[in-house]
């Protein structure tokens, strides 16, 4: 028995050593393209971006496919339908700035997406893009509105107008910005609700970025409010152990959840337009507390190691042992690309290639383990940069 036990232990040790040797080998030889150039810095679009974009262009050009897949997505989470639109529109705007020959096609798709979104909102209200519990109780602020929906509609409209002006959307954008500002300024937390008495850092950071874009487009100046929001957030919305912004809080400003990977990577990206040093600080802290690196493969936790939160539809099913969150890891790609972190980005791509089952078909690429919103975030991460740079250029930075 002792000899057998010794053989089992020896075998496990040998397997462990072999794994340590084999995984870096796999990382090096299977993902050399991403290792060499994980963040595209050349002119135009990378072949990888073109393959990802082909899937989305086909999706939005085929009504039957779009109806089928969006129906499936809405049955899981109506928010994902909406967010998939936003990220694809932001990707198309960046693609237009990177490769002007694409602008006509890209703008026609953006116009269709935004106009359809506005029609759905007009007919069915913001609840169409909300989870069912939005109707469970009254909103504190009246009349009820969703910061989630307002902020991303303004982001889409503003991105389109930055690429090329669309006069018909000037006043609708201004009016929505006015309503967001009013709701935020009369709130004790300087944040507006997305759900009844629920303010999300994700949505309010998006709102700040959207307002900044509107200022550049239409000559507004909300810099004093931006400074007030950042200072207030530093005092009231920072989790003390990590220094990272919490993800969810009441309208009065009481934290409901701590930092989350499915929130902070996008928050840092949006805050680049408001306070670059603070955005960088949040990104660095998120890397310190949420990044997991294993033999060259990277993932993101949903929560810091000592602050496990509640698993929900945003985090996805958190993978045990490595503690990887699909939602957080997907948005970490956007964070890493936004801050030029090629090491993290390459490691995240390697994990994606290994675990998300890439499917190539006639020049297009998708991931079987992903969905429309996940694919849109990935596409956006491959082209991010020019749109934010254009905002800063027009803003005189």
Cα 376 to chain centroid distance, Å, stands at 9
The answer to the question of residue 15 being in a domain is no
The answer to the question of residue 353 being in a domain is no
- Supply the pLDDT for residue 320: 59
- Write out pLDDT tens, residues 314-371: 545 666 556 788 899 999 999 999 999 999 999 999 999 988 889 998 889 989 888 8
The answer to the question of residue 26 being in a domain is no
Cα 50 to chain centroid distance, Å, stands at 20
The answer to the question of residue 324 being in a domain is no
Please state the pTM of the whole predicted model. 0.89
Dihedral sign for Cα 212, 216, 217, 219, please: positive
The answer to the question of residue 294 being in a domain is no
- Write out pLDDT tens, residues 29-76: 444 444 445 888 888 999 999 999 998 888 777 777 767 766 665 666
What residue numbers bound the domain in which 279 lies?
A: 41-289+385-394
The answer to the question of residue 249 being in a domain is yes
Total count of domains within the chain:
1
For residues 142-165, average pLDDT = 98
Indicate the helix (H) or strand (E) that contains 292.
strand 291-294
- Supply the pLDDT for residue 315: 47
Q: State the residue for tokens 């909103």.
A: 139
- Supply the pLDDT for residue 316: 54
Contact criterion met (CB below 8 Å) for 264 and 220: no
The answer to the question of residue 320 being in a domain is no
The answer to the question of residue 125 being in a domain is yes
- Write out pLDDT tens, residues 226-249: 999 999 999 999 999 999 999 999
Dihedral in degrees, nearest 10, Cα atoms 13, 17, 23, 25: -150
The per-residue pLDDT of the chain, averaged, comes to 87
- Are β-strands 255-257 and 248-249 bridged in parallel, bridged antiparallel, or unpaired? antiparallel
């Amino acid at each position: 028995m002792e000899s057998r036990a010794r053989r089992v232990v020896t075998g496990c040790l040998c397997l462990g050593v072999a794994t340590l040797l084999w995984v870096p080998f796999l990382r090096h030889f299977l993902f050399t393209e991403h290792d060499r150039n994980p963040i595209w810095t050349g002119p135009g679009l990378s072949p990888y971006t073109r393959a990802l974009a082909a899937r989305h262009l086909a999706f939005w050009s085929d009504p039957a496919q779009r109806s089928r897949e969006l129906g499936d997505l809405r049955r899981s989470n109506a928010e994902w339908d909406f967010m998939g639109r936003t990220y694809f529109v932001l990707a198309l705007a960046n693609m237009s700035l990177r490769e002007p020959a694409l602008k006509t096609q890209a703008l026609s798709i953006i116009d269709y997406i935004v106009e359809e979104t506005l029609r759905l909102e007009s007919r069915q209200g913001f609840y169409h893009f909300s989870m069912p519990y939005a109707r469970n109780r009254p909103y504190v602020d009246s009349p009820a509105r969703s910061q989630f929906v307002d902020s991303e509609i303004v982001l889409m409209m503003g991105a389109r107008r930055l690429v090329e002006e669309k006069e018909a959307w000037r006043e609708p954008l201004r009016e929505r910005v006015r309503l967001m500002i009013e709701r935020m300024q009369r709130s004790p937390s300087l944040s507006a609700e997305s759900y009844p008495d629920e303010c999300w850092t994700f949505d309010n950071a998006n709102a700040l970025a959207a307002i900044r874009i509107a200022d550049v487009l239409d000559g507004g100046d909300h810099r004093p409010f931006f400074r007030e929001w950042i200072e207030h957030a530093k005092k009231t919305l920072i989790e003390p152990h990590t220094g990272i912004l919490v993800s969810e809080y009441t309208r009065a400003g009481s934290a409901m959840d701590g930092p989350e990977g499915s929130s902070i990577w996008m928050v840092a990206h949006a805050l680049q337009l408001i306070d670059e040093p603070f955005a960088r600080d949040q990104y660095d802290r998120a890397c310190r507390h949420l990044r997991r690196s294993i033999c060259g493969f990277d993932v993101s936790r949903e929560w810091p190691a000592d602050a496990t939160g509640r698993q929900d539809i945003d985090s996805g099913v958190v993978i045990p042992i490595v503690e990887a969150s699909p939602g957080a890891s997907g948005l970490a790609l956007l964070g890493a690309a936004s801050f030029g972190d090629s090491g993290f980005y390459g490691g995240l791509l390697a994990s994606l290639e290994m675990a998300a089952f890439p499917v190539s078909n006639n020049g297009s690429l998708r991931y079987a383990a992903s969905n429309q919103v996940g694919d849109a975030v990935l596409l956006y991460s491959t082209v991010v940069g020019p749109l934010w740079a254009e905002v800063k250029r027009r803003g005189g930075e």
